[in-house]
């Protein structure tokens, strides 16, 4: 069980770090964040475009998710509702990625392969959190 707890906590730590880094970048440096998101996610958001205006509020939510997402590492039983909330967030992210049509992929400059790779990563995080909820 010790290895399992390490895997579950590592999953939460990586997810929190991802949310914190991408969120802070969006809040503090939205134009530069567009380049970071392009490298990380493959999405093309031209710096200085009106599309980058959404990065600040999105980033604030990312920072919140990152900070809150750390809590279950310290006490998974006490912060079990946060694990459910993270699972819901990941489920919504999967839904969004799976609903991308060819026009959306083209608009953001995303390849299908890159989109499916991120679907895999999100699903992997969700499965680990689901198992964490089941196996306490």
Do the Cβ atoms of 78 and 70 come closer than 8 Å?
no
Each residue of 5-15: pLDDT tens digit?
999 999 999 99
Domain total in the chain: 1
Each residue of 53-65: pLDDT tens digit?
888 898 999 999 9
26 pLDDT exceeds 70? yes
44 pLDDT exceeds 90? no
Question: Dihedral, CA atoms, 40, 46, 48, 49, nearest 10 degrees?
Answer: -120
Structural domain boundaries enclosing 128: 2-135
* Reported confidence tier of residue 48, pLDDT bands at 50, 70, 90: confident
User: CA 29 to CA 73: how far, in whole Å?
Assistant: 29
User: CA 41 to CA 50: how far, in whole Å?
Assistant: 19
pTM: 0.88
132 pLDDT exceeds 80? yes
* Reported confidence tier of residue 103, pLDDT bands at 50, 70, 90: confident
User: How would you write 52-105 as a 3-class SS string?
Assistant: HHHHHHHHHHHHHHHHHHHHHHHCCCCCHHHHHHHHHHHHHHHHHHHCCCHHHH
Report which of residues 51 and 135 the model is more confident about: 135
83 pLDDT exceeds 90? yes
User: CA 39 to CA 8: how far, in whole Å?
Assistant: 26
Task: State the average pLDDT for the chain.
Answer: 90
Predicted local confidence at residue 86, as pLDDT: 97
1 pLDDT exceeds 70? no
């Amino acid at each position: 069980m010790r290895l399992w707890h390490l895997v579950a906590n590592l999953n939460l730590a990586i997810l929190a770090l991802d949310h914190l880094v991408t969120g802070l970048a969006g809040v503090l440096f939205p134009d530069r964040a567009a380049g970071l998101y392009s490298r990380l996610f493959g999405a093309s958001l031209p710096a200085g475009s009106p599309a980058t205006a959404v990065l600040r509020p999105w980033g604030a939510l990312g920072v919140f998710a990152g900070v809150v997402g750390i809590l279950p590492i310290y006490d998974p039983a006490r912060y079990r509702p946060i694990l459910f909330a993270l699972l819901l967030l990941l489920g919504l992210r999967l839904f969004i990625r799976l609903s991308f049509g060819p026009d959306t992929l083209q608009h953001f400059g995303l390849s299908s392969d890159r989109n499916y790779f991120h679907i895999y990563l999100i699903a992997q995080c969700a499965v680990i959190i689901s198992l964490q909820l089941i196996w306490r």
